[in-house]
Structure 1
Amino acid sequence: MQTDTLTATGRLVRASAAVVVFALLAAGTLWGTDDHFPFGPFSMYAGVNGPNDPAPDTRVEGVDATGRTLVLNEHNAGVRRAEVEGLEAAYVDDPGRLELIADSYARMNPDAPPIVRVTVIVRLHEIRNSSLTGQWHDETRAVWQRP
């Protein structure tokens, strides 16, 4: 016989799980970082651009030894855009850190020509009255070149 009513034990288990999840969310919000997903503070959603502020789109480009330019991402170099955005100031202060992305690409693509240059580029899409204008420009934020 099947019943639609939870037993006392079932209610206790569900209530306990809800309390634990709520406590983790509260702790992550107060003391956590985005790395504590899904219990972190979600600070990536905390800001908002104005209706006429450009919308940034960050990418990492690599140039290999043959001169070919390619976008470096989590599939070919193990680096996510959010990680690059979070470390942008560090890359600007010390572009040598970008060599780690080239090294990661080499590990993930052992038969490919080596990356000799890594560039962090931010494409700024122009916005007017909260709508895309179709205009954009790129800003180079950091460059590392193999000596």
Structure 2
Amino acid sequence: MAELTATGRATRLVAAAVGVALLLAGTVWGQDDKFPFGPFSMYAGVNGPNEPAPDTRVEGVDRTGRTIVLNERNAGVRRAEIEGQEGSYVDDPSRLARIADGYQGLNPGAPPLDKVALIVRLHEIRRSSATGKWHDDVRAVWERPA
């Protein structure tokens, strides 16, 4: 094996120092969008052993009355985006119309959505274990004007 030159060792040392500095700065001042040099705060918290576990979803109801779970594949919206902007959807449910438009754009032959709802399913947890019980909390609803 060949030995590293002094320049090679110095280059590796500087690269490691820069990486560590970026990680430290990102941890103190960064936001999630700076990952991996910022905190990944969506996993930084934990629910208590008896607090419900939330599971967010968006559902649409089309003209035929069929309920469809809307996601990145069929509506172009990721769950993380919905969770990150939940407050905005609650404050202004008309923003859910954009998800209906995304669904129609990705499914041009499908019946249009007349209703879109942001729902959080709260799974009951007792002593850090799921009980199998849950309830849905409808946080925002948009309905197509008649």
* TM-score, reference length from structure 1: 0.88
Taking only aligned residues, the RMSD between alpha carbons, in angstroms, comes to 1.6
Work out whether 1:15 is the aligned partner of 2:13. Answer: yes
Bigger mean CA offset, 30-39 vs 57-66: 30-39
Residue 4 of structure 1: how far off its partner (Å): 5.1
1:11-90 correspondence to structure 2 within 5 Å: 11-90=9-88
Deviating more after overlay: 134-143 vs 4-13: 4-13
Letter in structure 1 aligned against 2:6: A
Q: SS of the counterpart of 2:141? A: strand
1:80-119, Cα deviation, whole Å (9 max, x unpaired): 1111111111111110111111112222222222222111
Does residue 101 (structure 1) correspond to residue 103 (structure 2)? The answer is: no
| 1:142 aligned residue | 140
Identity %: 72
| Structure 2 Cα separation of the partners of residues 5 and 21 of structure 1 | 23
Unaligned residue ranges in structure 2 (runs of 5+) = none
Partner of 1:115: 113
Q: TM-score, normalised by structure 2?
A: 0.89
Paired with 1:103 and 1:27, the residues of 2 have a C-alpha distance of 40
Q: What is the number of equivalent residue pairs in this alignment?
A: 145
- Report the residue type matching 2:18 in the other structure: V
